[in-house]
Every structure is written in structure tokens, then in C-alpha cells.
Structure 1
Amino acid sequence: MSTLEDENEIRKLIQKFTDCTNQRDTDAFVTVYADNASWQLDPPNGVAFSGTPAEIAAQAGEALSYFKALYQIVNSTTVTVTGDTATARSYITEVGLPPDQEGYFNYGLSLDSLVRTAKGWRFLRREYHTLYVDNSALAGTFKPFPVFK
């Protein structure tokens, strides 16, 4: 596989993670992590998960269930591939509705370490660093995702 193909597969994995988050598809989280992986989020979330893909998926499901609504957007990603390992840096925007607040707007940076497995590229480590957070009341209304027919 060429470097461009690897970079494309890694970007697709990052986008899949975001789709898992937005759809709250914890079963699909199993497909994005390597064995013995970790995922760490800075405050205000301030949680860390590690273990098998299934363990991280279960922990992610618990974290997502905290929010009444949460939508994430990947703004841009830079990827560096070195053989069967890679690093990626993605800027992320999140908007959500925690149960005890009227709003949540977050701009952050995800620093990823990835590894090529027999099943493709997987996250070995994800670190989410909050760069800006605003808990002001949101003026808009959350709508449910449409379902493919």
C-alpha cells in the first residue's frame, strides 16, 4: 500500500470514529481500536479508557450516554506514516447538551498513534485535548439524525 493510500485509510478511520460518536454506535467503536489501546480525554470530560476494543467501546458508550445530545465534526487532519505505524493530528468541533447544563461547545485537538493490523489501520492511542470550551446556553435546537431507507 502506498503512503497516500495509508493516509486515506487513516483519515477514513478518523471519520468512522466521528460517525460512531454521532450515531452513538458503540458496537462500531470495536472496529476502530487495536488490542491494548487507550483513549484519554482532557477536562472538562477528564476520562481515560484502556483495554481491548470491546472494553473501550463499552466505556465509550457509558461516556456518550452522559449527553442528551452530542455531535462531533472533524475539521482537518494531518497524517504521518512510518511503515506500520502512524501519527495523526485532527482538529475537532463538538456541540452537545449535557444533562446538567444548557450547552456545550468544544474545540479540541486529537493526537493519535495508529498501528497497521491484519484488519487495517487501528487506533493504538487517542488523546483529546480541549483547546476551547463554552458551556453557555445554546440558541439552537437538536434534531435527531435521519435514518437511511
Structure 2
Amino acid sequence: MSTDQNALQQLLDEAEIARLLTRYATAVDARDWDLYRTVFTPDAWIDYTSAPHGQAGNLDETVAWLAASLTLLPMTMHYVLNIDAAIDGDGATVRAMFYNPLQIPGVEGTSFCGGYYNHTLVRTGDGWRSARLIEENLWFENNPFASS
């Protein structure tokens, strides 16, 4: 590929990866588990253990856990930003910040958490997909799970 074609492919990949992460946030907040599955490879490993009461597992286990857990929350609104994608052929590592206001039953006001999503992506026939996600939850304001 020429330098111009490489630069164009880099931009196209970065745009597709950003759309993938937007689709992730949309799926979680809409509780759309079919859409959520389109973000991942069928054999993906997803780790949310840095969050209070978080779990890790394969795609089916994670969808079941999220579906049960998030029904308890009246509102979540994930923002994904500062996407840093290191693309190497048909693979990529991505570190992106997240900011998530949420409502927790029994907690006065809105709670907020944030951190990083660390993805290992692969290019598939259907576009970029996450083969591994490790959430790195760094902070949580108005956290009912914090020890007193």
C-alpha cells in the first residue's frame, strides 16, 4: 500500500473503532443485548471486576449478568472518549476513557464513575470486534458500596 493508502486506512480504522465503542455504550444504556453482542467476537472475554460487584466471563455469561444487574438501575449514560487505538494490521489495542452518570435505587442524587476500557480488537469480516475487554474502574462518586 502507498503512504496515502496507509494513512487513509488508518483513518478509516480509527473511525470504525470509535463507532464500535459508541455502539458499546448505546447497547449498555439501552439494555440492548443483541446490539451488545455485535461489539464482541463470539469467544470474547469480558472483565468488569474492577467495578463494585463486577464479574468476568465469556460473552454469554456477561450478557446474562449485565441483563440481571442493570435492570436494577433506572439510568446509566456511558460516555466513551479519548480513544487511543494502536492498530497493527488486523489487530488493535484500544484504551478509552469512560464517564458514567447513573442512578442507584436508595441513593439520593446521581452517582458517577469513570475509568478506562481496555480492548483487544480484531478485524473480522463484519468489521472490528472486541475479543477482550477489561474495564478499569478508577473512581466512583456517591458510591453506596464504599466502606464507611
TM range (shorter): 0.7 to 0.9
Q: Is the 8 A contact 2:104 2:111 kept in 1?
A: yes
User: Shift of the alpha carbon at 1:43?
Assistant: 2.7
User: Shift of the alpha carbon at 1:55?
Assistant: 4.9
Unaligned runs of 5+ in 2: 1-7
Partner of 1:147: none
Letter aligned with residue 99 of structure 2: T
Q: Which structure has the highest helix share of the two?
A: 2
Structure 1 stretch 63-72 or stretch 33-42: which is displaced more? 63-72
Identity level (%) = 28
Structure number with larger C-alpha Rg: 2
Structure 1 stretch 36-45 or stretch 77-86: which is displaced more? 36-45
TM-score (norm 2): 0.81
Unaligned runs of 5+ in 1: 138-149
TM-score (norm 1): 0.81
Partner of 1:134: 141
CA distance in 2, matches of 1:8, 1:63: 31
Partner of 1:35: 42
CA distance in 1, matches of 2:132, 2:73: 23
Q: Is the 8 A contact 1:80 1:87 kept in 2?
A: yes
The CA deviation string for residues 80-113 of structure 1, in whole angstroms up to 9 with x for no partner, is 1111110111110001112243342101111110
Partner of 1:16: 23
User: Shift of the alpha carbon at 1:136?
Assistant: 6.0
Q: 1:67 pairs with 73, 79, 101, which one? A: 73
Change (3 A) 1:115 1:63: farther
Aligned residues between the structures: 135
Q: 1:80 pairs with 76, 79, 86, which one? A: 86
Partner of 1:49: 57
Q: Is the 8 A contact 1:40 1:48 kept in 2?
A: yes
Give the secondary-structure state (helix, strand or coil) at the position aligned to 1:114: strand
Change (3 A) 1:100 1:50: farther
Q: Is the 8 A contact 1:30 1:56 kept in 2?
A: no
CA distance in 1, matches of 2:91, 2:66: 24
Q: Is the 8 A contact 1:37 1:123 kept in 2?
A: yes
CA distance in 1, matches of 2:78, 2:53: 14
Q: Is the 8 A contact 2:56 2:62 kept in 1?
A: no
Mapped pair 1:104 → 2:121: no
Give the secondary-structure state (helix, strand or coil) at the position aligned to 2:45: strand
- What root-mean-square deviation, in Å, do the aligned CA atoms of Structure 1 and Structure 2 show? 2.0
